Structures are given as structure tokens and as C-alpha cells.
Amino acid sequence: MTAIKLNLINQSNDHNNSQIVIFQKNAVTSVEELAVAWQVISNLGQGWQHPFTYSMNVSVGAGDAWGNYSPQQPAQDGQQFSVVRDTSGDVLTATGTASNPNEIEILNALAQGTINANVYRDGKLTATKTSVAPGQKAVFEFKPTIWVGVVSQVEEGEVMNSAIISQVNTEISLFGLASADIVMTGGGSGPDAKPFEFTLQNIKYA
């Protein structure tokens, strides 16, 4: 199985046309690293639904200090990639195995200049590590979980600030799933307002 089919359904009482953000956290980082808005769902009316997939396959890419970006390359857990200088300029190339079989590493093997190391899922930016110095590496590990929450003024693919991330406290495990609905409830205004909740329904296991 290469992808989990998910379907977000709005059964809330939200009248503010809120945005829903979905993101992952890099399991490697001990410090609280800022997360990237992997999916942002906008204008989802009451009773409407938004299907999307969670691919098991990820790809990696890099940007250099000169504003250049590499093509995305398929990546698997346990792989190491390096940014090196060759006769054509900076290139991103697979360079063997990572030190941990559950992790993906992107090494800055340039003599000078920082890099940004990027991981993509379904072609959308999922995680980034900026300003990786020469000789340093960015390390990524993802559990099969997503974080879902209601936010405002977030753009897909951008790094979210800690204030936004702290508002999102629903973690959903996708472990073993083939497909599921993510049903959003709650919301409303005044004394009847309830917190937004996201629950899995119609679950099918792989």
C-alpha cells in the first residue's frame, strides 16, 4: 500500500469559514522545531468534504545559499543524501545509508554556503531545516501521525510560528489504515460555542 485515502468532512457549526491545517512533526528534534503547513483546506462549507491522500512515499530536495533549488528525489527511511559541488554546480545526490534506519539524512557537503533541506509528501513540503552549515546534516523521521487544527491566515508550504502550532492539539494516528473520514465537529458562536474536534470515522484497515 502506497497511500492512505483520507476525507475531511465539515460537520461543524463554524460560521467563520476557518482554515483547517494538517501537518506533521519531525520526530527527531528534541527542541520544539517549527512545523510546515503540509495541507491547508480553505472554504470548506458545512456538509462539504475534502479528499486527500497521505502517501507512504516521500521525496527530498535542497536549496542552496544562491537561491537555487534541486529537483525532488524519491527517498526512503534509512537513506542519506548530500549536497555536493560538481562541474555543473550544486547537486543533490544519494550517498548511502543514514545512521538510523528510520531516518532520512540530508548532509551539506559543500565547502561553503548553507543549505535548506526539504522533505515532501505527495509533492507538498512537509518539513524543512534551514541554514544547515557545511559539514552539518538535517535529520528527519516521521511517525504515521498527522496533526489537525483550525487556524487562520496560514499558507500551504510555509513554516508556522509557535503560536499557531500551540493552538493545534489533535494528533491522529494513521497506523495500519487504508482509508478513513476525518470528521470535524464543534464550533459555533456565543455561549453555545464548542471546541473544534476531529475524529476518525468509516475506518478501513490495510
How many domains are there within the chain?
Answer: 2
Based on the fold, state whether residues 113 and 85 are members of the same structural domain.
yes
Per-residue pLDDT for 32 more than 80? no
Neighbouring C-beta atoms of residue 145, cutoff 10 Å: 13
Based on the fold, state whether residues 32 and 96 are members of the same structural domain.
no
Pairing mode, strands 3-10 and 177-187: parallel
pLDDT band for position 1 (50/70/90)? low
Confidence (pLDDT) at 6: 98
CB of 19 within 8 A of CB of 152? Answer: yes
Based on the fold, state whether residues 164 and 125 are members of the same structural domain.
no
Based on the fold, state whether residues 136 and 148 are members of the same structural domain.
no
Q: Which domain holds residue 129?
A: 58-140
Based on the fold, state whether residues 130 and 188 are members of the same structural domain.
no
CATH of the domain at 43: 2.60.40
Based on the fold, state whether residues 115 and 174 are members of the same structural domain.
no
Per the model's pLDDT, the better-predicted residue between 31 and 91 turns out to be: 91
